[in-house]
Chains A and B, each alone.
Chain A
Amino acid sequence: MTGGYALALEHIARRFGRVQALHDASLLVRPGTVHALRGENGAGKTTLLRIAFGLLRPDAGVVQVAGHPVILASPADAMRLGIGMVHQHFSAVPTMTVAENVALGNHGLYRAMEARSRVTEIAERVGFTLDPDARAGDLSIAAQQRLEIVKALARGARTLILDEPTAVLPPLDANELLAVLRHFADEGGAVVLITHKLPEALSAADDVTVLRRGRTVLAAQASATDVEALARAMIGGAPPPTLRPRPNLPGDVVLSAHELVLRDSRGAARVKGATLQVREREIVGLAGVDGAGQHELLLALAGRLAPISGTLHAPAAVGFVPEDRQRDALVLDFSLVENVALRGAGRAWGRLPWRSIRARTAALLEHYDIRVPQLDVPAAALSGGNQQKLILARELDGDPPPTALIVENPTRGLDIAGTASVHERLVAARDAGAAVVMYSSDLDEVLAIADRLIVMFDGLAHDVPLDRGAVGRAMLGLT
């Protein structure tokens, strides 16, 4: 009964050059439901959703919206039919304000007052806050996501497609977002959600569809399936063992900050006198609500932000994995070899030894299990998970290996296998003697991998025991 679906993609196939991204993928979304789409990296989830939003055309298969076969030649077509998308990598124009971004694509006069009140009104209706006058480029990731949702709703979207919306959010915000989506579905809208968190997929969604290697391998109601069944469907076998941190003995202090004061790009004080030490052979987890100063602290520890006052001691060789890998860690148009050569390029002199960099790149790809067609493809051709693995490989495998490693949301957008392998690498780096500082907006991830925990609250660093409740309270400033 196709007529009953808000959005139906049936038997979709799509090829990119020599890569068949989708063989036979179907996704049937009922109105009034939240639908979770799952699958490993490269399973074709993003491709399928890009087809649903008119960014790509399918080679074969049928797309139906509200029971009518449609051809989505562009996002404009999709939006006209009430389909809105929140992208994994946000699509706002960074130099424009929130209100201008929401108004983008409209016709007629642009009235700033009207645009502003429209943003506030939609945000209020769905239950969050968003400053209409902030420049989109200055927004935190959570706020950028709110902007994307408001943009879609301002267009009258009845079906919302979200590509990994909770991956970047701290637990509280993630729950809030899921509540917003649930509310939207209860009012008759439909939601398609890519998520990597299995329990989330089951608890937040009504229906689940699993893709593996471009095919739909499971489509069921969430109540009729369980975590193991989903994991098996995704991987086509048993899930990899979860990792347990091993006890270890921290060594000498490698990174230390005393009374550190830092400002963000707009000149607002974000870190207001933080003192902390990180020793070799330990992973220090960093937690904090959005904007508590952890981002600036990480930048300073990595040598990317100069302190206003206070002292900071850091070794010369610090590996850094920034949060926004496409913007800050890779030059997407450069080949993999060139991207690998970028590490330390600011300090390097003379001729580039391409032959050895090429060999090193090939070794990294092999060693870190990064799957690419060939060495000379641009970094943009890699999937998100493989991009992250490449960055991690480049930073970890330096010569000499880094004595300190700063990582920010290292598993954002990665699947189960990818996340496990990143965690493994971080633990291995620690065991090899590195001082590791990791921030993740996923508190469970921090708790799972850290040896010690520091919570940022209002620009100050607090040592907090590895306990979920204690960390949660510290993040909100309740001690």
Chain B
Amino acid sequence: MTGALTGFLEASVRTATPLALAALGEVMVERAGVINIGLEGIILAGAFGALVGAGGGSLVSGFCVGAVSGLCIAALFALFAVTMRADQIITGTAVNLLALGLTGALYRGLYGATGAALTIPTTGSLPLPLLTRVPVLGPVLFDQPAPTYFVYAAAPVLWWWLYRTHWGLAVRAVGERPESARVAGIAARRWRWVTLLLGGAMGGIAGATLVLSQAGTFAEGISAGRGFIAIAIVVLGGWNPIGVLIASLLFGAASALQYLFQAMGWNVPYQLFLALPYVLTLLALAGFAGRRIQAPAALGRAI
């Protein structure tokens, strides 16, 4: 029983990691007033980049190439949606389709139509000394691969940056009222670029995590809607990095529920649990959005 529960919680955290990475990047982007629907494509590009980068046997180069791939897709999005003031939703959708097509074509071109089994290194779990020995939570939280620890650090750092630095204040002002930000001497578009690039790198790392820490291989469309789920997580988390961290764990748990039920031997159709995160996404967008916490006022508006 405890074993199953620990396993479930451990799986929750593991599943939550790429979601949290992507969502933390997206929080920054949305606080600057941009809704990057292209996040799905960024994760996919990051996953493919990780495959290419890790092909030589280096995990570090896998994560780096993944991050840079995500950043490139984000730069493409920023070029259209920020500099050329195109509609953000349409641009994001186009970017998603482009990433899906591009990674698919490159994958087949480079690795053959069959997608023959590729051997790439994967991250093992990296148990933290002492902390792992904490009962229940120890192994759940501190016997994880490195990207999870990156998430633990990134959420508070991002919170601090948004609320305790003038740069964070500037980003929030750009998302609320870009005209006021400009009058205060803030380069509104530049901040949208900066947050998009950072968010793109985070999304790329999220994709790399899927490949290097979880699947161990690449498949076409491996992102499987995680970009959209991350956007829902940002809403559910109230555009706050700490809230986003908690919301990510909730979504991770929803995805991991299937493992728990299998472990408990309950006979429930697994498709039900596969659908759960998406149902939760809909509920988050419909039920919780716009209640008490308001979205950035200039979200989605070109400047």
Task: Specify which chain A residues have a CB less than 8 angstroms from the CB of B297 in the assembled complex.
Answer: 94-95
Number of A residues, CB within 8 Å of B = 25
Q: Give chain B's interface secondary structure class.
A: helix
In the complex, per-residue mask of A55-94: 1 if CB is within 8 Å of any chain B CB, else 0: 1000000000000000000111001000001010001111
Asked if A74 contacts B172 (CB within 8 A), the reply is: no
Contact of B176 with A by CB under 8 A: yes
Task: Specify which chain B residues have a CB less than 8 angstroms from the CB of A101 in the assembled complex.
Answer: 180
Asked if A96 contacts B167 (CB within 8 A), the reply is: no
Asked if A75 contacts B183 (CB within 8 A), the reply is: yes
Task: Specify which chain B residues have a CB less than 8 angstroms from the CB of A400 in the assembled complex.
Answer: none
In the complex, which of the residues A75, A95, A103 contacts B176, with contact meaning CB atoms closer than 8 Å? Answer: A95
In the complex, per-residue mask of B129-170: 1 if CB is within 8 Å of any chain A CB, else 0: 000000000000000000000000000000000011111111
Contact of A265 with B by CB under 8 A: no
Given contacts A95-B294, A105-B186, contact A110 B177 (CB under 8 A): no
Cα-based distance from A362 to B217 in the complex (angstroms): 66
Given contacts A79-B185, A104-B181, contact A96 B166 (CB under 8 A): no
Asked if B180 contacts A93 (CB within 8 A), the reply is: yes
Asked if A103 contacts B166 (CB within 8 A), the reply is: yes
Given contacts A94-B177, A95-B176, A96-B172, contact A104 B165 (CB under 8 A): no
Cα-based distance from A79 to B185 in the complex (angstroms): 8
Asked if A96 contacts B164 (CB within 8 A), the reply is: no
Number of B residues, CB within 8 Å of A = 23
Asked if B179 contacts A109 (CB within 8 A), the reply is: no
Q: Give chain A's interface secondary structure class.
A: loop
Interface centre among A87, A96, A101, A110 (most CB of B within 10 A): A110
Asked if B166 contacts A93 (CB within 8 A), the reply is: no
Contact of A100 with B by CB under 8 A: yes
In the complex, per-residue mask of A99-126: 1 if CB is within 8 Å of any chain B CB, else 0: 0110111111111000000000000000
In the complex, which of the residues B169, B179, B181 contacts A103, with contact meaning CB atoms closer than 8 Å? Answer: B169
Contact of B253 with A by CB under 8 A: no
In the assembled complex, how far is the CB of residue A104 from the closest CB belonging to chain B, in whole angstroms? 4
Given contacts A74-B185, A105-B186, contact A91 B163 (CB under 8 A): no
Asked if A105 contacts B176 (CB within 8 A), the reply is: no
Cα-based distance from A79 to B183 in the complex (angstroms): 9
Contact of B32 with A by CB under 8 A: no
Given contacts A95-B294, A95-B297, A96-B172, contact A104 B180 (CB under 8 A): yes
In the complex, which of the residues A93, A109, A151 contacts B181, with contact meaning CB atoms closer than 8 Å? Answer: A93
Contacts from B to A (Cβ < 8 Å): 163-170, 172-173, 176-177, 179-187, 294, 297
* Cβ contacts A to B, 14 pairs, < 8 Å: A55-B183, A93-B180, A95-B176, A96-B169, A104-B173, A105-B166, A105-B170, A106-B166, A106-B169, A107-B166, A107-B167, A109-B165, A110-B166, A110-B168
What 4 A-B pairs are tightest by C-beta distance, nearest first?
A76-B185, A105-B184, A104-B184, A106-B166
